[in-house]
Structure 1
């Protein structure tokens, strides 16, 4: 027999019995509908407890549990993203138990998300939702993820890169702003593919000058993989070298806050006509240029410290000039190029 409701003044209370034990509590609600939901959940939790099972949390509680467990094991940006997701983007799912959340409800929540956000963010929203549900499955709070949601098809646009022919002028524009620490950070990001957070925590002692490598001591994935240092970066850093401490520090010798390079990158973009370049796209520029130089994607994956090669592939932009060269080679093999350099149309003999 399930819970029964009764009122004390305007507040609803519930009572039920589990294996002969009587349970009676207040819901704290004047709304009968809300009180019914609270009572039903309390009854279900009590049944689980008698079987030695952990009660199934509502989604809002699950996100808070995830944040507490992972606060020391994931990056600051990941934590901020999940905290914002739990605070602003749970919509009507927030106070539902995990086993009550269905595909139809998740689809409705995605529609609510799209009311105020670009379609390109909806798939990321769904990935965060799936992440916490899979974590609940691993903790055996639920047997499986109770919903299925197909990703939206979103038109992808080419992402900004630092054009090679403008790289030196762009770096000059960074240096012209007379912030040596910023110049150092940006060269670390461009030359080693470091994330901004990795550049602002970089240490002099992590450089092996003899082997000409840099081993990040603090990374998003907690992986310390030596990265070869290019000659131009070694030459730039050598006169500035210290025995230890931060490579990139403010005037007081302390580390910078997140986003510290953004304004300087925007200013350099404006001075040189580079469009849309961001701190993270310096990492994408680094990865794409390695690919264009013929470095295998598995090697780029290791250098970028990605757990999945698919993540690495997502960083790489299409090199149109390389495609043109490839098309030219195919045309030659097919016989469309004459010995005198002219081109056959395929219709002439």
Structure 2
């Protein structure tokens, strides 16, 4: 997977984006590759460029052709500080460095990089940003809309416009943005929320107590999957019957903590689960004993095994909200549990938490959503099935 600095190089072989020197290239610090002998006396080829700052940069290569290609990739990712021009690849590379330094989530960062790589496959990376026209951007996004969907074209559009907006501040690009293509039509599909019965079928299909405990916690906290994956031993406060979730879903992207009250059933479940955790750091780990990164395959396989329509952790979050709403829990309490914060809802969150503990107890009882042949909501049900 290419790093930000080899974004342009990764597209060197793509149709319509061959990287070669042009009279319009914003930076022309390329020098001829050189050959040096290593400590064993064998010749080694190095690509070499001179940066706008006057410093030299070298990169060891296996062939002369590779060295030339590397030099060209560096040229198009270096803005010309003298003329104020910047190539398309340089804009995207600098913007990716900017958002990465500020701790952007890996998924969002990956979406942005994919959007830029796709555009660089249709538009020459060395082309100065001022020469990238509305028509070029529209043609590219039209192709995305035809091949995939209008929703995906709108996602690419959003990321491309975000890079330009940042370039206005960083490189003094001209305003208004000439790339503001009209949004594409999206076919909105209603979010699928599983029934409580389907959730319990998937819960029972889990092969390990660890997986069942994680699903149980997801239902009782409405936690996002990343928050479950981050949860560690010191995030469980059994004395005060609460747990801590760490989220990046706030302005700025930094980790912030939220303390969530435990229902009595969840308290008993996690207390028993702690005996199985041993001294490991994370509360929930995969079958290999490593922290979870993605559980999409797990959820889909459990759904297939249980014979229900596929759903993921975010659907469980919606299920938790719907069960709270169906139980008559006040809207302000639901907002506090879901942690949908804003300037308007923060005060509601702080005042409503006083009554959350009593309001939550009994809401997620399995006996209220189905009539099993035997009671199995107790924590013993979670830790005794193998």
Asked if Structure 1 and Structure 2 have the same fold, meaning a TM-score greater than 0.5 normalized by the shorter chain, the answer is yes
For 2:310, the equivalent position in structure 1 comes to: 276
C-alpha contact (below 8 Å) 1:12/1:26 kept by paired residues: no
In the superposition, the TM-score normalised over structure 2's length comes to: 0.58
For 2:331, the equivalent position in structure 1 comes to: 296
Between the aligned partners of 2:180 and 2:21, the Cα distance in structure 1 is: 36
For 1:116, the equivalent position in structure 2 comes to: 147
User: Which string of whole-angstrom CA distances, capped at 9 and with x for unpartnered residues, describes residues 27-48 of structure 1?
Assistant: 99xxxxxxxxx9xx99xx76x6
The alignment status of 1:161 with 2:190, answered yes or no, reads: no
1:238 is matched with which residue: 246, 271, 280? 271
C-alpha contact (below 8 Å) 1:215/1:227 kept by paired residues: yes
| Secondary structure at the counterpart of residue 157 of structure 2 | helix
Over the residues paired in the alignment, what is the CA RMSD in angstroms? 3.8
User: 1:245 deviation in Å?
Assistant: 1.7
Q: CA, structure 1 residues 98+27, in 2 after alignment: closer, same or farther (shift >3 Å)? A: farther
2:226 is matched with which residue: 188, 197, 205? 197
In the superposition, the TM-score normalised over structure 1's length comes to: 0.64
Alignment of 1:26-105 (within 5 A): 49=82, 55-72=84-101, 73-93=103-123, 95=125, 96-105=127-136
| Secondary structure at the counterpart of residue 217 of structure 1 | strand
C-alpha contact (below 8 Å) 2:204/2:212 kept by paired residues: no
The alignment status of 1:224 with 2:257, answered yes or no, reads: yes
Q: CA, structure 1 residues 302+170, in 2 after alignment: closer, same or farther (shift >3 Å)? A: closer
The alignment status of 1:255 with 2:291, answered yes or no, reads: yes
1:139 is matched with which residue: 170, 173, 176? 170
Q: CA, structure 1 residues 276+167, in 2 after alignment: closer, same or farther (shift >3 Å)? A: closer
C-alpha contact (below 8 Å) 1:265/1:277 kept by paired residues: yes
Between the aligned partners of 1:212 and 1:166, the Cα distance in structure 2 is: 28
Unaligned runs of 5+ in 2: 1-19, 33-71, 345-386
Unaligned runs of 5+ in 1: 1-10, 16-22, 29-37, 310-349
C-alpha contact (below 8 Å) 2:196/2:319 kept by paired residues: no
Between the aligned partners of 2:339 and 2:174, the Cα distance in structure 1 is: 35
Q: CA, structure 1 residues 267+303, in 2 after alignment: closer, same or farther (shift >3 Å)? A: same
User: 1:172 deviation in Å?
Assistant: 1.0
User: 1:133 deviation in Å?
Assistant: 1.9
For 1:150, the equivalent position in structure 2 comes to: 182
Larger Rg belongs to: 1
User: 1:74 deviation in Å?
Assistant: 1.1
C-alpha contact (below 8 Å) 2:86/2:171 kept by paired residues: no
User: 1:302 deviation in Å?
Assistant: 7.3
